[in-house]
């Protein structure tokens, strides 16, 4: 059969081109434009090369925000992933208790982020918040508006409360997908609960854990709403994470050039680390496909 | 060792999974044969100690082990799914039950290699289960079970998820492996052919009951009841209602068959006659009685043709050697070999069975 030249085929891929262009490429290129030029108006703009990048990379405020951001994401992963696995293992497998546990677990995920922030902002207050008041009543001085450590603790506990359920739900789904025969085989072998976890449950959960780690890393690395509502980045700069820092530069000071440069650095960090996580975790331990 | 079941039964939430079973299982191969849902897996789980029986006792070598948890028994289990530890290599998988028993390193190494070579997976010891084909995965699972040298080895439809060729190959190998062991080996299957090739003894199960037990060939040739004959024939035994008066059987199609040989001493009354598909023929055989029927379906399987025929009062399957084309609704003549007829009474018990010695 002869090949038929038909330019109409372009119309079939056109929608995808338009959607990708509008949703991803054009906004991204706008940021790139701002990162390499000093733009006052569409007619009035100057090429600055890597000047913005050089200045923001030398900026101590950015270093501080970046370090805080890494520490925060690291702490979040370190707490939420093991805690999520442990809770998923402890959850009932079937019956009404399982349904109840699932509903309770899902609740924090259903609350809008700024509402979560507001809840904790009030709950943790030393003067009128139940949580903050109780801690102080127990004789532990606690005030997140003045003490950096207290502010960090508040944000971390809030994030654990808000997002561990996501890890739990993913792990729970992974656990339920393991055929009962595996557990029987382990029982017949005389395997200890630890061996069952290490050699059956953990490898079988690997696929969902990979998703959980990626999602929690990306989300925690981009955290903005909750600390913005609770501490506004304070006291001082104690809880100024990357996105809060970025917003300050872009909206607070209208330094669009440096803000665009930070955005690109920010984006590249997330992209690189997600890529690394993905590769490490898919190769780790077992040849089983995720 | 021997395994003795004394009236063990299992009821779950009011539904009966297993009616009381009595059996004495000596070392050697025992095939549990029955359709899906017959209670094979329930019975094996009770034997292993994975479930507790609702009633009855299980004795190992005369000792009551009913309440003994599975990890304290000498049991190995192979499942129809390929169950291996996903993150351990084939070597570690086979070694795992030995390690858990705390055996010393050199002994484990030797045992793993020995069992692996029996199952022809000695070149795959470094691989992970996910890197193996289905057949190799199941070989690994079987090797793990064998390595343990348990006194009770249970295999629950181990070959059902493998393709036809592999199944035949493994079946032969397994039979040879089991013959050399002093353990009680329980092997469940839904396929009569598999039961026949494995040999040993058979327990025919149906709807939660053990219908008949005995040496496999004997049960095949002398099914105690219509139900056993149906379960232990593939395709299921063909049945027809007949009326016997004065030494003659009246078939629905007007066929009158004078009864001789093993059928000669049947008393007058209503019977169901049964005959296996392979003792029916569509090509004329001189001297054999015949019935008219119509073709409903012709099913070609390998080098055989299974022709489903219908006539008033009977729906039969005829097994023909070779590949034959048949049109739907085509009128055919079914020849039957009266020396291969079984006669069952109205209660389903066998009244007359063909003498053995002339093939299945």
Q: Do B101 and A179 touch (CB under 8 A)?
A: no
Q: What is the DSSP string of B130-170?
A: GGS-HHHHHHHHHHHHHHTT-SEEEEESTTTTS-HHHHHHH
A200, B85: Cβ pair inside 8 Å? yes
Sign of CA dihedral A74, A77, A83, A89: negative
- Write down the pLDDT at residue A285: 53
Chain B hits for A203, Cβ within 8 Å:
85-87
Contact at CB, B85 and A190, closer than 8 angstroms: no
Contacts of A200 in chain B (CB under 8 A): 85-86
Tell me whether residues B87 and A288 touch, CB distance under 8 A: yes
> Do B252 and B240 meet the contact criterion of CB atoms below 8 Å apart?
yes
Of A179, A189, A199, the CB nearest to B97: A189
Query: CB-based burial of residue B71 (10 Å sphere; 0-12 exposed, 13-18 middle, 19+ buried)?
Result: middle
8 A C-beta contact, residue B112 and residue B125 = yes
For residue A235, say if its preceding peptide bond is cis, omega within 30 degrees of 0: yes
Shortest distance between the Cα of B315 and any Cα of chain A, in A, equals 40
Work out the pLDDT band at A88, boundaries 50, 70, 90. very high
How many whole angstroms separate alpha carbon A217 and alpha carbon A207? 16
A185 close contact with B: CB closer than 8 A = yes
* Cross-chain residue pair A187–B100, CB shorter than 8 Å: no
- Partners of B18 in beta bridges: B10
Measured between CB atoms, which of A185, A204, A285 is closest to B77? A185
Strands B331-336 and B280-281: antiparallel
Q: Which of A179, A184, A286 sits opposite B128 (nearest CB)?
A: A286
> What CATH number was assigned to the domain covering residues A50-283?
1.10.3720.10
Task: With cut-offs at 50, 70 and 90, classify the pLDDT of residue A284.
Answer: low
Query: Which chain B residues have a beta carbon less than 8 Å from that of A190?
Result: 71, 97, 100-101
User: Is A191 in Cβ contact with B83 (below 8 Å)?
Assistant: no
Which superfamily, per CATH, for B238-350? Nucleic acid-binding proteins (2.40.50.140)
Nearest to A190 among B71, B79, B129 (CB): B71
Residue B297 in tokens:
């379906």
Could you give the CA distance from residue A152 to residue B176 in angstroms, rounded to a whole number?
A: 68
Distance, CA of A200 to CA of B173 (rounded, Å): 29
Query: And the tokens for B196?
Result: 């026949």
At residue B334, the 3 state secondary structure works out as: strand
User: What is the pLDDT, as a whole number, of residue B360?
Assistant: 41
Output the pLDDT for position A2. Answer: 61
- Give the burial class of A43: count Cβ atoms within 10 A of its Cβ; 0-12 exposed, 13-18 middle, 19 or more buried: exposed
Is the ipTM value over 0.85, yes or no?
A: no
Domain with CATH 1.10.3720.10 in chain A: 50-283
Q: Do B87 and A195 touch (CB under 8 A)?
A: no
Q: Which of A188, A189, A204 sits opposite B86 (nearest CB)?
A: A204
User: What is the spatial distance between Cα A125 and Cα A88, in angstroms, rounded to a whole number?
Assistant: 31
Give the pLDDT of chain B (360 residues) as one tens digit per residue.
788 888 888 988 888 888 888 888 888 889 999 888 888 888 998 888 888 888 888 888 888 888 888 878 888 889 888 888 888 899 999 998 888 878 888 889 998 998 888 888 889 999 998 888 888 899 899 899 888 888 888 999 888 888 878 788 888 888 888 877 778 899 999 988 888 888 889 999 998 888 898 898 888 888 888 889 888 888 888 888 888 888 888 888 778 888 888 888 888 888 889 999 888 888 888 888 888 888 988 888 878 889 999 888 888 999 988 888 888 888 888 998 888 889 998 888 888 888 765 444
Report in angstroms the alpha-carbon separations of B130 from A183, A278, B90, B140, B144. 18, 19, 10, 11, 16
**pLDDT, position B356:** 67
What tokens appear for B326 in the block?
């048949």
Confidence band of A287 (pLDDT split at 50, 70, 90): very low
Nearest by Cα to A35 from A51, A21, A22, A23: A51
**Per-residue pLDDT band at A100 (split at 50, 70, 90):** very high
| A189: contact with B, CB 8 A cutoff | yes
Q: Is A184 on the interface with B (CB under 8 A)?
A: yes
B87/A185 CB distance under 8 A: no
pLDDT tens digit sequence for A161-215: 999 999 999 999 999 999 888 988 888 888 888 989 988 999 889 889 988 998 9
For the domain made up of B3-231, the CATH class stated in words is alpha beta
Tell me the chain B residues in contact with residue A204 when contact means C-beta distances shorter than 8 Å.
Answer: 86
Report the gap between the CA of A170 and the closest CA in chain B (Å): 19
Interface probe for A, chosen from B49, B72, B87, B146 (most Cβ of A below 10 Å), is B87
* B87/A184 touch (CB, cutoff 8 Å), yes or no: no
Spell out which residues of chain B touch residue A188, defining contact as CB-CB under 8 Å. 48, 50, 70-71, 75-77, 97
Q: Cα–Cα distance between B169 and B158 in angstroms, integer? A: 13
Q: Which two tokens stand for residue A239?
A: 């809880």
Query: From the CA of A217, how many Å to the nearest CA of chain B?
Result: 25
The residue ranges of every structural domain in chain B are: 3-231, 238-350
Do A199 and B77 count as a contact with CB atoms less than 8 A apart? no
Q: B-contacting residues of A 197-216, CB under 8 Å?
A: 198-200, 202-204
pLDDT in the model for residue A162: 93
Specify the residue for token string 């079970």.
B145
Shortest distance between the Cα of B170 and any Cα of chain A, in A, equals 21
- pLDDT of B349 reads 87
Tally of CA atoms within 13 A in the half-sphere of A259 that contains its CB: 17
Which residues of chain A are within 8 Å of residue B149 when distances are taken between CB atoms? none
Q: Which of A179, A186, A190, A206 to mutate to test the interface with B (most CBs of B within 10 A)?
A: A190
- Judged by CB atoms closer than 8 Å, whether chains meet at B97 and A190 is answered as yes
Using DSSP's 3-state secondary structure scheme, residue B328 falls into coil
The number of C-beta contacts closer than 8 angstroms across A and B is 64
* Residues of chain A contacting residue B131, judged by C-beta atoms under 8 Å apart: 287
pLDDT tens-place string over residues A11-29 = 888 899 899 888 888 888 8
Does the pLDDT at position A242 exceed 70? yes
Task: Give the model's pLDDT for residue A290.
Answer: 37
Residue A288 has pLDDT above 70, yes or no: no
Contact between A289 and B130 using a beta-carbon 8 Å cutoff: yes
């Amino acid at each position: 059969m002869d090949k038929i030249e038909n330019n109409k085929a372009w119309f079939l891929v056109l929608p995808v081109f338009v959607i990708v262009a509008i949703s991803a490429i054009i906004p991204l290129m706008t940021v790139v434009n701002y990162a390499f030029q000093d733009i006052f108006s569409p007619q009035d703009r100057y090429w600055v090369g890597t000047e913005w990048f050089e200045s923001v990379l030398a900026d101590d405020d950015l270093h501080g925000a970046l370090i805080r951001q890494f520490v925060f994401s690291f702490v979040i992963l370190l707490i939420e992933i093991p805690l999520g696995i442990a809770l998923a293992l402890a959850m009932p497998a079937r019956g009404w208790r399982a349904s109840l546990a699932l509903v309770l677990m899902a609740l924090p995920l259903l609350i809008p982020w700024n509402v979560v922030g507001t809840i904790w902002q009030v709950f943790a207050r030393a003067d009128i918040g139940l949580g903050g008041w109780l801690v102080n009543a127990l004789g532990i001085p606690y005030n997140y508006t003045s003490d950096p450590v207290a502010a960090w603790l508040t944000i971390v506990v809030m994030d654990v409360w808000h997002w561990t359920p996501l890890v739990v739900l993913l792990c729970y789904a992974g656990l339920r997908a393991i055929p009962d025969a595996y557990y029987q085989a382990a029982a017949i072998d005389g395997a200890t609960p630890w061996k069952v976890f290490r050699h059956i449950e953990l490898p079988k959960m690997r696929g969902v854990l990979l998703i959980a780690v990626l999602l929690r890393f990306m989300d925690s690395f981009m955290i903005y709403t909750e600390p913005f509502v609770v501490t506004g980045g304070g006291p001082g700069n104690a809880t100024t994470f990357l996105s809060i820092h970025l917003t300050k530069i872009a909206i607070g000071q209208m330094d669009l050039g440096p803000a665009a440069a930070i955005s690109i650095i920010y984006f590249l960090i997330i992209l690189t680390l997600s890529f690394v996580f993905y590769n490490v975790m898919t190769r780790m331990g077992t040849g089983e496909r995720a | 060792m021997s395994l003795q079941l004394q009236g063990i039964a299992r009821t779950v939430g009011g539904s009966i999974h297993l009616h009381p079973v009595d059996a004495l299982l000596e070392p050697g191969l025992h095939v549990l044969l029955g359709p899906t849902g017959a209670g094979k897996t329930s019975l094996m789980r009770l034997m292993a100690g994975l479930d507790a029986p609702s009633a009855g006792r299980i004795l190992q070598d005369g000792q009551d082990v009913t309440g003994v948890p599975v990890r304290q028994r000498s049991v190995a289990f192979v499942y129809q799914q390929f169950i291996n530890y996903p993150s351990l290599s084939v070597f570690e998988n086979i070694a795992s039950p030995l390690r858990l028993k705390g055996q010393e390193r050199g002994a484990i190494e030797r045992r793993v290699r020995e069992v692996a070579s029996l199952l022809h997976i000695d070149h795959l010891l470094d691989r992970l289960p996910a890197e193996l084909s289905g057949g190799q995965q199941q070989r690994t699972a079987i090797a793990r079970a064998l390595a343990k040298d348990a006194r009770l080895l249970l295999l629950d439809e181990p070959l059902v998820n493998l393709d036809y060729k592999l199944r035949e190959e493994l079946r032969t190998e397994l039979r040879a492996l089991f013959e050399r062991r002093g353990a009680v080996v329980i092997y469940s299957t839904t396929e009569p052919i598999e039961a026949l090739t494995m040999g040993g003894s058979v327990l025919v199960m149906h709807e939660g009951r053990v219908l008949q037990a005995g040496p496999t060939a004997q049960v095949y040739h002398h099914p105690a009841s219509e139900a056993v004959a149906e379960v232990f024939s593939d395709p299921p035994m063909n049945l027809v209602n007949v009326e016997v008066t004065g030494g003659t059987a009246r078939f629905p199609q007007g066929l009158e068959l004078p009864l001789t040989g093993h059928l000669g001493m049947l008393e007058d009354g209503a019977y169901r006659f049964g005959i296996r598909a392979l003792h029916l023929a569509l090509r004329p055989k001189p001297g054999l009685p015949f019935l008219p029927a119509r073709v409903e379906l012709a099913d070609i399987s390998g080098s055989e043709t299974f022709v489903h025929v219908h006539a008033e009062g009977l729906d039969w399957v005829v097994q023909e050697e070779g590949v034959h084309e048949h049109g739907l609704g085509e009128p055919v003549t079914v020849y039957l070999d009266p020396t291969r007829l079984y006669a069952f009474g109205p209660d389903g018990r066998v009244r007359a069975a063909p003498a053995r010695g002339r093939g299945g």
